[in-house]
Structure 1
Amino acid sequence: MSQLYIASSITTFEEPPSAELFDDNVSVTQLYQHIMAFVFAVEEINENPYILPNVTLGCHIYNSHFTAGWTYHASVELLSGRGRLTPNYKCDGESTPVAAVGGPNSDLCLYMSAVLSMYKMPQLIYGSSPVTNSNIQGAFLHQMFPKGSHQYKGILQLLLHFRWIWIGVLFLEDDTGEMFVQNVLPMFAERGICVAFQETFPKLTFSSEFYETLEEYSKALDIIMESTANVVLVNGEIHTMMVMRAMLKLQGTDDIPMQSKTKVWVMTAQMDFASCSFVKYLDVQVFHGALSFAVHSKEIPGFQKFLQMRNPNLEVEDGFIRDFWEAAFECVFPHPSLEKAHNKCCTGEEKLEDLPASVFEMKTSSHSYAIYNALYALAHALNAMHHHTIKYRAMAEEEKWDFLSLHSWQLHKILRRVSFNNSVGGKVSLDQNGELITGFDIINWVVLPNESFIRVKVGAMDTQVASEEGFSLDYDAIVWPNRFNQSRPASLCNQNCHFGYSRAKKEGKPSCCYDCLPCSEGKISNKEDMDDCFQCPQDHYPNNAQDGCLPKKITFLSYGEPLGISLATFALSFSITTAWVLWIFVEHQDTPIVKANNRNLTYTLLISLLLSFFCALLFIGQPEKVTCLIRQIAFGMIFSLVVSCILAKTTLVTLAFMATRPGSKYRTWVGGKLSNSIILSCTLTQSAICCVWLATSPPFPDLDMHSMTTEILLECNEGSTVMFYCVLGFMSLLAFGSFIVAFLARKLPDSFNEAKFITFSMLVFCSVWLSFVPTYLSTKGKYMVAVEIFSILASGSGLLGCIFSPKCYVILLRPELNRRQVLIRRENQRIN
């Protein structure tokens, strides 16, 4: 174990070596508890009649001084016999060790293992596990520490839980630190955690180098404290805390107190609070609110009472207690060789419980708990071997167990499968790899005003289940550093991208550093830091903030809205007007102006116009299966009938005047047969197109979710757009033909024909439907239906007004002109 740190001055060979064995003897007061846990466990096992009956355990405790040389020395002496160092020669048969417990630093365990593994001696490691390059060394190590990967998965869960994705890293510059950087940090990167900086702890060897080494790291400390990363992961060991305190003290100034720049320190379970004389008075407030992992532990019954009973005046065999006592209570034991000084004298009556936790803790630490379990694991392994040996030798009527003839290598297999419940009810088991099967506690450090601190358990991690399920945390119990005002600290490269924004990578920066760009039109983001915005479901649309979706309203051109009411009113008005014109023509059917140009054809045209206005009403209201099938077909058929009637009228006017010439062969064409043939052929052709449309791809009710942003349009899907435009195309062809014929006949006498009016009416008709196509294609939703209704009403009213308004004017207002004699006289005057 390491209780005293011997700091030697560097040898420069420029002056004679010092006569002193060492320069400075520094006591690490917290580690005295490890020694006490070891002694307490040995005494408790010896008093237990059920473990190793009639066998008394003894122990040697060596101080490694945190150096390789003293560790090698202690390991060789352990094999040579107490008090004598004879390498590879055992001259003391009464103090044969069967196992060694070592720690808490990984490098010291590695030095110990280099010697003891050659003799196949079991070594139980209670602190950091060494990185061994030899399978032989690793075979004799039994770690009272869970598998390291479990802890790092727990740290990863902690970082992800608080969304700390921008962190700093401090690690030791040794094999364990190198393994941490190579194996653990890439695992963090895979889960989206970026490292703002990586800095190493100085490796201290000589006391004269201490402050010089720390000053070399002043630049690194500037990086740490000025970094935007508010969380720093510290992968260190038990002595790391002393180095951290010294480093942070150098960084703090009177103008800028350290508390104003402190970080949330996340520390690994290998670390623990440790202090010595030269950092004893340094402020511990910088660790207020820190989080650390610790191997799961419980309070050992009777251990605190055992500590309270320690007295340096009575403990003769304890070679550590006086050094510890003087360092902890800042006093000096009287000694005849020392002159009287102003130093406070130690009485031995001082109370350990009066010491602040920054000097010594009465509560069992996780390292002390691991030492306690290590001793019991050895005892249970020896007990199992004891029973096996007695059972074997009972068959030979020899029940004596020759403990001194025990070979230590025989304990390995038993230790690999040892399992027992300790005195606090905790189960202790080692797996086949020699690693402890247990979980971790998550500890929150709360520093008190008197420079003491308490460790508050705020979470746990069960390593026997999946990391996500085994991780638990009491968020409300956590105390954060004072600078964060008890709010959860954020540790980000930049602020989160809020709802309605997505992340965009910054060139040359880690993935955690990004710009926030607003979502493009039609997309949303409803979480922070989304990589991409996404579309709402088809029946929803983005809100104005683009952070959520709102349900679309189902809409259609209804009779209840102003547009529908207006169009329906116009359709009914034109229908009434057309019916009135038809009534006028029927009432005056014997007048010349009505009889001119085929009276029956005029009636057919008016009736078809009346039907066309009624047809517009089919486009208003909720689309149903029947109305969708009927309305476009009815529209095409009726307007084909209208245009074919106009074509027939125009053709008859032209042939009538051509037939008046003497000997004209066109007289046989003038009559009802021609007009009926034109109307019938055109209507049948359009009917054939409509039948093909209905047979192949008929119209049907449909929901258009894409045309309108905030609405779902309930519409009639045309089924086949090609067939729809074929219907329009044929109607346009008839209209164009009627216009050409009427245009050619426009100079015929006005008294006998209506070619001029038909020409103008067809000009209006063609203009309406030519403008319909681009307008229809450029509008969306129910307004497409409104455009078609408007085109139907506009073209029908244009035909009605241009063709029949002059005739109605004559019939109603100038009846004197509607007589045969007047028409003949006017015609004779024009001829003359």
Structure 2
Amino acid sequence: MVTKNYQYLLALIFAVNEINKNPKSLLNVSLGCPFAEGFFRPMNFNQNIMDFFSEQKKIVPNYKCGTETNLIAIIGGKGPENSQKLATILDIYKLPQFSYGEFAQMQTGQSHLHYSYCMAPNDIHQYDGIVQLLLHFKWKWVGLMTMGDNTGELFVKNLVPTLFQSGICTAFIENIPAFFFFNEFLDAQDKRKESFLTVAQSTANTVIVHGETMAMICLRELLGQGAYDYEKAFGKVWVLTAQMEFVAVALHRDWDIQVFHGALAFTTHAHEVQGFQDFLQNLSPDLAKGDDFIHIFWEQAFGCSFPNPSFKGDSEKTCTGKEKLEQIPGPFFETSMTGYSYSIYNAVYAVAHALDIWYSSRAKSKSRVMVNSRRLEYLNIKPWQLHPFLRNISFNNSAGETVHLNENGEFLMGFDITNVVSFPNKSFHRVKVGWINPWILSGKHFSIEDDAIVWNRIFNQGYARDGLGPPPGFAEVAQVLKFEPPAPKKQVIPISLCNDNCQTGYHKKKEEEKPFCCYNCVPCPEGKFSNHTADMDDCTACEDDHYPSKDKKQCIPKAVTFLTYEEPLGMSLVIFILLSSSITALVLGTFIKHHDTPIVKANNRNLTYTLLISLFFCPLCAFLFIGQPDKVMCLFRQIAFGIVFSVAVSCVLAKTITVVLAFMATKPGSNMRKWVGRKMTTSIVLCCSFIQAAICGIWLATSPPFPDVDMHSVPEEIVLECNEGSMTMFYCVLSYMGFLALVSFTVAFLARNLPDSFNETKFITFSMLIFCSVWLSFVPTYQSTKAKYMVAVEIFSILASTIGLQACIFFPKYYIIVLRSDLNKRDHLLKRKV
């Protein structure tokens, strides 16, 4: 006998007695309640059903003689399979069936549902509650355990897709090994060990268990064996469906339920009914009449036996009948009203109210009804006549709650979520910590109180009771489990994930050949961040004016940068600019001072001055590249640089051509004399410079440069720069300048062997070689640098090419003018030979 189920019978008796004692209900008529137990055997179950339709002690269906009772409803069918078997027979008689457990979902839409009433919530709502519970605690990696029968397969078939749609994975789906007889128990040893290891070694800390009475007995057998590592199974959060109950039979009296400490259980909604506790406390085998089970219950629940005159043996313990039910461990009997008992209680009242409504409707059609005829009316009622009154029935029970059955025969109530707190005496206490009720109109269908939950001690090295100290029995549990209770502290909610959450600065990356709940955590890519530990699928990109920190946890505002005078790089460039221009001014001044000396006059004095003036302005063009870019600066900096340098290179080209023409004109009969002179050099300089100016004019007219903001080249900076408008035109300017330099280099190289007295083409060759090398290296360097360093590269190229021209062309002459004036004489120059 499953002693715990005895409360269902007591709830039935209590409700019937309460109605019979109520003078306002069913006057002059009493309700009765025959009952039977199936003992897990289908044959016994079917036999008990047929007993209701047969003469006493004889199974002759539909034959009754001399009885003054009328069977008007059946309360039974705990479990889908039993409810289906019962409904199949009751459907013939159209007899109302009140199933106080879940009804078989596979029967939805069948005809017998017209005569069946389910006092337990629909399992569909339980699936939703399980998902809501898992999502609330962020448990994404869970295990499933169920019996390997039709209901277990149906549970897995319905729940797993729902979990999948909610982003929850199943670490394992394990059948609970079942046994009914001793030989099966022995045969299942290996299977139990395999199942235990699957559960215990899984990384899933949350296990959802579905089944009925036998499932809990088998599960406790699976987890309670000393041959396995008990601690591994202890470290799980057990989520039990409403079908699961903590039950035990006499064989398991020494088993405890510490492994389920902290479990969360869905239960059919229950409410304490006034007087039920007193009814249980006053229960005694001597006072119970017509109850054939109380003696069996009493002996198995208390582990004693009543004296039997025909048996002379010595009993270990004799039942006195004075034992108290509150002394029995919870797995054997609960003194608080369970959800199933509450459903039975409401079912009895639903029948009574339907009878009252039915009788009231008949009384209205008659002018007078005698008291004796009232009894005859009730005895003559046919079961099918109650169905119109049971549909949409609503009444208030003695517990103060409204009981309502809708047109489909469903009890409009949800599930309670209870926390199981176990005790050393192998008992437990249920604490209601939440609920799910889809019938609430307010919109909030799910609720749970985290602070009210006591978790398994594996997950917490402390406890939290809002300053009230440990929960009842906690010290005793600590003593039994041999660990010292630490000081009170906030509880840590257990984690059940395939892997740790991705921390801030990381995002998920799918692992191949593993469920989608299993992944690696990889750092956020460049330009993105993650400031949540919520297993982000991808990191979030920072806004354009922000960049991610090194740990990728936040975005930091970018600094606005450009090449300034105040920074060391800008100051260094300014010094070199001023130094270069000053040297050029010094050389120009020296040349002007010694303008009548032969070495100054030797190679076109005016052209030399023009070249020096252009070289003076070349470094000064770099000032347009330093400072915050504005419209004027952007328009003129590349234009000024291109034109000034073109003038300088044109002068060099003119000097080179002048030298060549001068030596050609000295030959007898040469016609080159007419080309030697100021007009030719001026024409070369103006013509070459005009072409560069024309290119710059086309650039300004078509796609002029403009101030711009670059937020992407440098991750940590907002770069203020000049957008060149058209890079093609920019490289055209550079290409033309390079073309002039290449022509100058070629001509100078070819004229390098002319007499040294009047020839500076060797110096020009070296200067143009340096000039071309600088600007050829400038192009790749310029393209590979970013931000203000691009500007610095161009300034450096300007300075390097300017200094190269100064050093190669003018340093030898300056040396002679200043330090070797003895060489700066016409006679000396004329005597010099190649």
TM over 0.5: yes
Asked if the contact 2:237/2:456 (under 8 Å) is kept, the reply is yes
Secondary structure at the residue paired with 1:233?
strand
**Alpha carbons of structure 1 residues 813 and 507: separation in structure 2 relative to 1, 3 Å:** closer
- What residue number does 1:760 align with? 766
Q: Distance in 2 between matches of 1:414 and 1:643?
A: 111
Q: In the alignment, does 2:255 pair up with 1:282?
A: yes
1:349-371 deviations in Å (ceiling 9; x for gaps):
22222333233221111111121
Asked if the contact 1:556/1:782 (under 8 Å) is kept, the reply is yes
Secondary structure at the residue paired with 2:458?
helix
Asked if the contact 1:540/1:550 (under 8 Å) is kept, the reply is yes
Q: Distance in 2 between matches of 1:634 and 1:269?
A: 87
Which residue, 161, 168, 186 being the options, matches 2:136? 161
Instruction: Kindly state the Cα deviation for residue 587 of structure 1 after the two structures are TM-superposed.
Output: 3.2
Asked if the contact 2:755/2:833 (under 8 Å) is kept, the reply is no
- What residue number does 2:432 align with? 457
Q: In the alignment, does 2:104 pair up with 1:104?
A: no
Give matches, 1:708-727, under 5 Å. 708-727=714-733
Secondary structure at the residue paired with 2:53?
helix
Q: In the alignment, does 2:494 pair up with 1:489?
A: yes
- What residue number does 1:369 align with? 342
1:399-454 deviations in Å (ceiling 9; x for gaps):
96933343323433443422333333333333443333222222111111222211
- What residue number does 2:573 align with? 567
Q: Distance in 1 between matches of 2:502 and 2:442?
A: 28
Which residue, 610, 623, 630 being the options, matches 1:624? 630
Which residue, 592, 613, 626 being the options, matches 2:619? 613
Instruction: Kindly state the Cα deviation for residue 571 of structure 1 after the two structures are TM-superposed.
Output: 0.7
Secondary structure at the residue paired with 1:680?
helix
Return 5+ residue gaps in structure 1 as ranges. Answer: 1-26
Give matches, 1:728-743, under 5 Å. 728-743=734-749
Instruction: Kindly state the Cα deviation for residue 104 of structure 1 after the two structures are TM-superposed.
Output: 2.5
**Alpha carbons of structure 1 residues 346 and 265: separation in structure 2 relative to 1, 3 Å:** same
**Alpha carbons of structure 1 residues 50 and 746: separation in structure 2 relative to 1, 3 Å:** farther
Identity in percent: 52
Q: Distance in 2 between matches of 1:466 and 1:600?
A: 100
1:359-391 deviations in Å (ceiling 9; x for gaps):
322111111112122222333333333333333
1:500-530 deviations in Å (ceiling 9; x for gaps):
5555555544344445555666665554655
Which residue, 354, 357, 360 being the options, matches 1:387? 360
Instruction: Kindly state the Cα deviation for residue 728 of structure 1 after the two structures are TM-superposed.
Output: 0.7
Secondary structure at the residue paired with 2:175?
strand
Q: Distance in 2 between matches of 1:665 and 1:429?
A: 126
Deviates more, 1:504-513 or 1:682-691: 504-513
Q: In the alignment, does 2:31 pair up with 1:57?
A: yes
Asked if the contact 2:255/2:426 (under 8 Å) is kept, the reply is no
Q: In the alignment, does 2:380 pair up with 1:378?
A: no
Give matches, 1:262-341, under 5 Å. 262-339=235-312, 341=314
Asked if the contact 1:194/1:512 (under 8 Å) is kept, the reply is yes
- What residue number does 2:752 align with? 746
**Alpha carbons of structure 1 residues 174 and 829: separation in structure 2 relative to 1, 3 Å:** closer
- What residue number does 1:826 align with? 828
Asked if the contact 2:141/2:497 (under 8 Å) is kept, the reply is yes
- What residue number does 1:241 align with? 216
Q: Distance in 1 between matches of 2:34 and 2:310?
A: 29
Q: Distance in 2 between matches of 1:557 and 1:135?
A: 83
Q: Distance in 2 between matches of 1:303 and 1:316?
A: 18
1:307-365 deviations in Å (ceiling 9; x for gaps):
11222212223332222222222222234333363343322222222333233221111
Give matches, 1:32-431, under 5 Å. 32-48=6-22, 51-52=25-26, 55-80=29-54, 85-91=59-65, 94-133=68-107, 135-206=110-181, 209-210=184-185, 212-213=187-188, 216-249=191-224, 251-253=225-227, 256-257=229-230, 261-339=234-312, 341-393=314-366, 402-431=377-406
- What residue number does 2:417 align with? 442
Instruction: Kindly state the Cα deviation for residue 649 of structure 1 after the two structures are TM-superposed.
Output: 2.5
1:151-186 deviations in Å (ceiling 9; x for gaps):
112212222333433332211222211111222123
Q: Distance in 1 between matches of 2:155 and 2:353?
A: 34
Q: How many residues are paired up? A: 800
- What residue number does 1:7 align with? none
Asked if the contact 2:234/2:260 (under 8 Å) is kept, the reply is no
- What residue number does 1:695 align with? 701
Q: Distance in 1 between matches of 2:25 and 2:610?
A: 120
Secondary structure at the residue paired with 1:94?
coil
Asked if the contact 2:629/2:707 (under 8 Å) is kept, the reply is yes
Asked if the contact 1:707/1:780 (under 8 Å) is kept, the reply is yes
Asked if the contact 1:77/1:85 (under 8 Å) is kept, the reply is yes
The one-letter code of the counterpart of 1:33 is: Q
Task: Give TM-score scaled by structure 1 length.
Answer: 0.88
Q: Distance in 2 between matches of 1:407 and 1:501?
A: 70
Instruction: Kindly state the Cα deviation for residue 596 of structure 1 after the two structures are TM-superposed.
Output: 4.1
The one-letter code of the counterpart of 2:777 is: S
The one-letter code of the counterpart of 1:175 is: N
Q: Distance in 2 between matches of 1:713 and 1:259?
A: 59
Deviates more, 1:527-536 or 1:414-423: 527-536
Secondary structure at the residue paired with 1:576?
helix
Q: Distance in 2 between matches of 1:183 and 1:499?
A: 35
The one-letter code of the counterpart of 1:120 is: K
1:691-712 deviations in Å (ceiling 9; x for gaps):
2222333223333333334333
The one-letter code of the counterpart of 1:723 is: M
Asked if the contact 2:546/2:555 (under 8 Å) is kept, the reply is yes
Instruction: Kindly state the Cα deviation for residue 455 of structure 1 after the two structures are TM-superposed.
Output: 0.9
Asked if the contact 1:164/1:490 (under 8 Å) is kept, the reply is yes
Asked if the contact 1:252/1:258 (under 8 Å) is kept, the reply is no
Q: Distance in 1 between matches of 2:544 and 2:315?
A: 87
Deviates more, 1:731-740 or 1:205-214: 205-214
Give matches, 1:413-562, under 5 Å. 413-464=388-439, 470-486=445-461, 487-499=492-504, 503-515=508-520, 527=533, 529-531=535-537, 536-562=542-568
1:614-656 deviations in Å (ceiling 9; x for gaps):
1111112222233222212221122112212222232233323
Q: Distance in 2 between matches of 1:626 and 1:144?
A: 86
Asked if the contact 1:525/1:548 (under 8 Å) is kept, the reply is yes
The one-letter code of the counterpart of 2:6 is: Y
Q: Distance in 2 between matches of 1:558 and 1:628?
A: 15
**Alpha carbons of structure 1 residues 281 and 105: separation in structure 2 relative to 1, 3 Å:** farther
- What residue number does 1:13 align with? none
Deviates more, 1:358-367 or 1:482-491: 482-491
Asked if the contact 1:553/1:710 (under 8 Å) is kept, the reply is yes
- What residue number does 1:652 align with? 658
Task: Give TM-score scaled by structure 2 length.
Answer: 0.88
Asked if the contact 2:102/2:121 (under 8 Å) is kept, the reply is no
Which residue, 786, 791, 810 being the options, matches 1:804? 810
Asked if the contact 1:66/1:108 (under 8 Å) is kept, the reply is no
Q: In the alignment, does 2:680 pair up with 1:674?
A: yes
Q: Distance in 1 between matches of 2:743 and 2:400?
A: 105
**Alpha carbons of structure 1 residues 647 and 189: separation in structure 2 relative to 1, 3 Å:** same
Q: Distance in 2 between matches of 1:510 and 1:428?
A: 44
Q: Distance in 1 between matches of 2:359 and 2:607?
A: 126
The one-letter code of the counterpart of 1:607 is: I
Return 5+ residue gaps in structure 2 as ranges. Answer: 462-491
Instruction: Kindly state the Cα deviation for residue 567 of structure 1 after the two structures are TM-superposed.
Output: 0.7
Asked if the contact 1:67/1:108 (under 8 Å) is kept, the reply is no
Q: Distance in 2 between matches of 1:546 and 1:450?
A: 53
Q: Distance in 2 between matches of 1:559 and 1:828?
A: 50
Asked if the contact 1:75/1:116 (under 8 Å) is kept, the reply is no
Asked if the contact 1:259/1:285 (under 8 Å) is kept, the reply is no
Instruction: Kindly state the Cα deviation for residue 581 of structure 1 after the two structures are TM-superposed.
Output: 2.5
**Alpha carbons of structure 1 residues 78 and 669: separation in structure 2 relative to 1, 3 Å:** same
Asked if the contact 2:176/2:195 (under 8 Å) is kept, the reply is no
Instruction: Kindly state the Cα deviation for residue 768 of structure 1 after the two structures are TM-superposed.
Output: 0.8
Instruction: Kindly state the Cα deviation for residue 794 of structure 1 after the two structures are TM-superposed.
Output: 0.6
